[in-house]
Amino acid sequence: FRCPIPRWTPLESHMAVRSGFADLGKWVSDERDIYADYKEHIGGPARTVVNVWLLGVSLFQRRSGSCRFADMQISQPGAGTLKL
């Protein structure tokens, strides 16, 4: 979905990968094909990835919360892996 903040709406899209309480309090692991996600949800081939943001958002629900991310990697076949 397009960013709900008006200034950012034309610039970025969001994709919910995980939602709900099922994994609350647990470390979880995900692996995504960013190119395929873009093609399916935004449309057309992605030319370049500019940013990948991982967000834990409670602002719009007017609640509070916290999240942590660890051991992140971005890789491209034949180009190696970038550890973040």
Output the pLDDT for position 10.
81
Domain ranges, residue 81: 1-84
Output the pLDDT for position 25.
86
Local structure of residue 76 (DSSP, 8 states): E
What are the tens digits of pLDDT across the range 15-31? Answer: 778 878 898 888 988 88
Tell me the C-alpha to C-alpha distance, in Å, between residue 6 and each of 14, 25, 47, 53, 65. Answer: 13, 32, 24, 18, 24
Checking if the pLDDT of 59 tops 70, the result is no
Domain count, the chain: 1
User: Which two tokens mark 62?
Assistant: 């007017």
Checking if the pLDDT of 37 tops 80, the result is yes
Output the pLDDT for position 8.
82
